[in-house]
C-alpha cells in the first residue's frame, strides 16, 4: 500500500509556542490531505481537508487561526499549532488520498504534549 510519513512522531512544547507537524506521501501524489485529531480510546475527528495549492476546508468548531494548514506540494502538507495550550495536547494524524480516489492512507501520527 501507499506510504505516508509524519514528522515528528512526538513533540513536547511549552504553552504559548508554536509547533509544526509535517505529513508526506512518499510514493504517490496526494492531491488531497486530511488532518485528524484523536483522543485516547476515541475515534478520529476530522479537523480539516486540504487540496494541493488551495486553502484548507476546516470542520465546524476547528479554529482556522490556531491550526494553520498548508498543502504546498503534491507530497507535503503541514499543520502548525499556533500558541499551543495544554488542551491542544493530543494525537494528530494525517492522511493522504490520490486524485479520484476515496482511499485514504494514514501517517503514523504525532503525539503532541503541551506543558
Q: Give contact residues for another protein (rule: CB under 8 A).
A: 1, 4, 6, 32, 34, 42-44, 46, 49, 57, 91, 93, 95, 97, 102-109, 111
Look up residue 96 and give its three cell numbers: 493522504
Nearer Cβ to another protein (5/82): 5
Contact at 8 Å (CB) between 71 and 33? yes
Look up residue 76 and give its three cell numbers: 507535503
Nearer Cβ to another protein (34/81): 34
Q: How far is the CB of 16 from another protein (least distance, A)?
A: 26
Q: How far is the CB of 74 from another protein (least distance, A)?
A: 16
Cis peptide before 8 (omega within 30 of 0): yes
In angstroms, rounded to a whole number, what is the distance separating the alpha carbons of residues 76 and 29?
Answer: 9
Nearer Cβ to another protein (3/17): 3
Q: How far is the CB of 43 from another protein (least distance, A)?
A: 5
In angstroms, rounded to a whole number, what is the distance separating the alpha carbons of residues 1 and 68?
Answer: 29
Amino acid at each position: 500500500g501507499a506510504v505516508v510519513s509524519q514528522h515528528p512522531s512526538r513533540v513536547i512544547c511549552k504553552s504559548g509556542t508554536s509547533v509544526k507537524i509535517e505529513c508526506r506521501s512518499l510514493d504517490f501524489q496526494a492531491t488531497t490531505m486530511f488532518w485528524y485529531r484523536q483522543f485516547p480510546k476515541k475515534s478520529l475527528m476530522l479537523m480539516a481537508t486540504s487540496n494541493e495549492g488551495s486553502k484548507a476546508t476546516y470542520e465546524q468548531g476547528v479554529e482556522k487561526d490556531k491550526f494553520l494548514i498548508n498543502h504546498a506540494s503534491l507530497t507535503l502538507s503541514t499543520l502548525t499549532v499556533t500558541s499551543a495550550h495544554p488542551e491542544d495536547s493530543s494525537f494528530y494524524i494525517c492522511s493522504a488520498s490520490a486524485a479520484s480516489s476515496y482511499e485514504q492512507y494514514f501517517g503514523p501520527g504525532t503525539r503532541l504534549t503541551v506543558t
